[in-house]
Every structure is written in C-alpha cells, then in structure tokens.
Amino acid sequence: MNGGGLARLSVAGDSATAASNHRTETVGNHTVKRSLLGCLLMLTAAASVTAQETAVPNVVLGIHGGAGLPKKEMTPELEKHLRVGLERALKEGYAALQKPNATSLDGVETAIRILEDDPWFNAGRGAVFTHDGRNELDASIMEGRLKKAGAVAGVTTIKNPITAARAVMERTKHVMLISRGAEVFAKDAGLEIVDPAYFRTEQRWKQLQDQLREEREAYDKKKREGAALAPLARPYELSTVGAVAVDGAGNLAAGTSTGGMSNKQYGRIGDSPVIGAGTYADNKSCAVSCTGHGEFFIRYAVSHDIAVLMEYKGLSVQQAADEVIRKKLKAAGGEGAAIALDPKGNFAMSHNTEGLYRGFVTVDGKMTVMLYEK
C-alpha cells in the first residue's frame, strides 16, 4: 500500500484552511470587531458539532462489527471472540490491500468476508433469525470513483453476501437483486452456495426463543390486565458488519453486510443493502458504513447525508458523522453508528449507543480494535 497518496492529499486542504483563517476585513475602525465576530462565529459553529471521538489520520481500512450489546451484558468470552474476529478482519483486509494492483474494493470485500464467516457477528454465518425462524441476509458495496454499487437482500443460501453484492455491481447492469433472483444469479456466477442450515447458530436461535417468549408474556399480560401492549425494551439486534477503505490511488470503497434485526417480520429489509442509507462512497467526500436501527437510517439517508455534509458544507469527516449520528438521528430516536473514511485517510467513528465494535489499520500496518473505549 502506497501511503504517499494519502500524504499528498492532506497538504492542500490544510493550506487552504490556514489561508482562510487569516483573512480579515478592514472597514474604518471596525477591523477588530469584525475579526472578533468572525472568531466567535467559528467557535460557535465548531461547538455545534462536538466530536465524540477525533478522526484518526493515515487510516487505509476501517471496520465495524455493529453497535452491539450494552456493556453490562458483555461477557469475557464474547469480548474475546469479538476482538479476535475484528483483528483477523483487519489483518486479512490489510493484506488484500498490499497486493499488486489491489483496490479499495478488495480490502472491503476481504474484511467483510472474514466477519461473515465468523459466527460471533450478525452477518453470514452468525446471522440472527427472523420471526419465522429463517436467516435472511442483506449486503451492499460501493466504490467512490465512478459511484458504482451492488447489493443483495433477503438471501438464504449465499455463503458470502458481500461477494454477491460485488458481483451484482461488476457483472450486471443492476444495483440490487433480492431473494430467489439474487440466489439464482449467485449460483450462475459461480459463487459459493450453501444449505440454509449453514447459517444456524445456537446462540442466535436462543436469542430468538427468548424474544418470542417475551412477546408471549407481554401479550398474556395485556389480555389479563387490558393494558396497552408495551414494546420490548430492545426488540432488535444492533449488529451489522461493515468496512471502508482507501487505496494507493485515493479511491474509496464501502461495504455493509447483516442478518438484520432478530425476530424481524414479513421479509423485512433494513438499511444495509440500501445505497445512501447503510452504505455510500464518493471520492469527493467519504466512504461510509452504518449499523443500527435500519428504518431510521433509511428514512434519514444517513450514509449519503454524511457525505453531502462534507461536500456541500465543508465539514470534516468526523464533524459530518457526528452531526448525523449524534444529533439528527439521536433526536429522531434512532440508535446506531457509522464509520467513515475520507480520501486523505481520516477515519471517523461516531455512535449514539454505548458501544461500537470497531477497528482500523493505518498505512504502516498498525492495527487498533475497540469495543466500548473512547
């Protein structure tokens, strides 16, 4: 991976910012007042988007494994599995980026495939169950140079949905294929097809049974007391996997894969396969992958909103991500998170949840993994 591109890209923006900060306007004796007013306005604007975390520089690959569980529900065993899985995804994704002629798409697809194959993440092998006891998988991928994209949704037999999403992007004129049509396409394309039982894991099955039991108990209580049926405290799994990357040519890519919400109903599709909601990439701004309550991410076009705040308002990648995740989405009642990477290698991690399973690797190969840490 050639880090020179990242270094060159970072200089021009810094110089322009410095120049603009030193402009003053002199009108009679009002020079000082104008300068002070400008400073106050800039400080006010900066304070309006308080960063939860500072963007990390010189990143070539960032990943997430979902917003996950409240910290009090985390066990030592689960934490160990999550950290090992994230580290492996970073290692393999970074290795893919080092190969000759590798693109950011290669890093994104490789990292997500690792997480899809890991039963401890809600994607691929570790996908949650629907209300009817099925595993229905969604994924999408997008590149930032030409803004080509591909997605699959509601699939039950494709071992690695992220690879199918890339195949849709590269081998068809379409953006999204769903259900049986996507599965027929994947088989014809030579992708690995598995029996639906491959995706079953005991911890996810138990999770569904617990939710179904809670639903029955809540319904019985309503019948006895005649009260309104209260929603479950957290009726969905805040888990998805995703990756963002930049290659030596400065091209961005993003991808997202998920099993969706545990106990989801009637062929429900969330934000993960929806371009502009769960996934987006544009070399003019950033690459984004999201996780959380998908209906809100669709309604607020979260990944696209982050990108256009950078392009049209000039916000930094961290400011844009925080503006959408920590302000707009939170105010609307939407829980979740996003990771975002700009062409200079600045990596933002923003969440309005207690945790975000995430990691990144810098151009020199140094890896970092975090779950609840700031």
CATH number for the domain that contains residue 283: 3.60.20.30
Three-state DSSP state, 238: coil
Residue 293 has pLDDT above 60, yes or no: yes
Q: What is the pLDDT, as a whole number, of residue 217?
A: 81
Distance, in Å, from the CA atom of 343 to the CA atom of 58, rounded to the nearest integer, reads 10
Q: How far is CA 163 from the centre of its chain?
A: 17
Element (H, E) at 131: none
Q: What is the pLDDT, as a whole number, of residue 52?
A: 55
- Total domain count, the chain: 1
Cβ pair 116, 124 in contact under 8 A: yes
Residue 244 tokens, joined: 């963002």
- Does 4 reside within a domain? no
- The pLDDT tens digits for 149-206 are 999 999 999 999 999 999 999 999 999 999 999 999 999 999 999 999 999 999 999 9
- Does 211 reside within a domain? no
Q: Can you give the pTM of this predicted structure?
A: 0.84
- Does 274 reside within a domain? yes
Residue 370 tokens, joined: 């975090």
Residue 344 tokens, joined: 């200079």
Question: Angle between the 161-171 and 179-188 helix axes, to the nearest 10 degrees?
Answer: 80
Q: How far is CA 1 from the centre of its chain?
A: 23
Instruction: Determine whether 31 is an active site residue.
Output: no
- Does 14 reside within a domain? no
Q: When comparing pLDDT for 13 and 214, which is higher?
A: 214
- Does 294 reside within a domain? yes
Distance, in Å, from the CA atom of 323 to the CA atom of 145, rounded to the nearest integer, reads 25
- The pLDDT tens digits for 248-262 are 999 999 999 999 988
- The pLDDT tens digits for 62-106 are 999 999 888 999 999 999 999 999 999 999 999 999 999 999 999
Out of 103, 110, 157, 240, the active site residue is 240
Domain assignment of residue 166, given as a range: 59-199+234-370
Place of tokens 């894991």: 201
Confidence of residue 225 (pLDDT cuts 50, 70, 90): confident
The secondary structure of the chain in percent helix, strand, coil, rounded to multiples of 5, reads 45, 20, 40
- Does 127 reside within a domain? yes
- Does 225 reside within a domain? no
Residue 325 tokens, joined: 């995740």
Element (H, E) at 102: none
Percent of the chain residues past pLDDT 90, beyond the cut:
74
Question: Which residue from 284, 290, 330 is spatially nearest to 309, judged by alpha carbons?
Answer: 284
Residue 237 has pLDDT above 70, yes or no: no
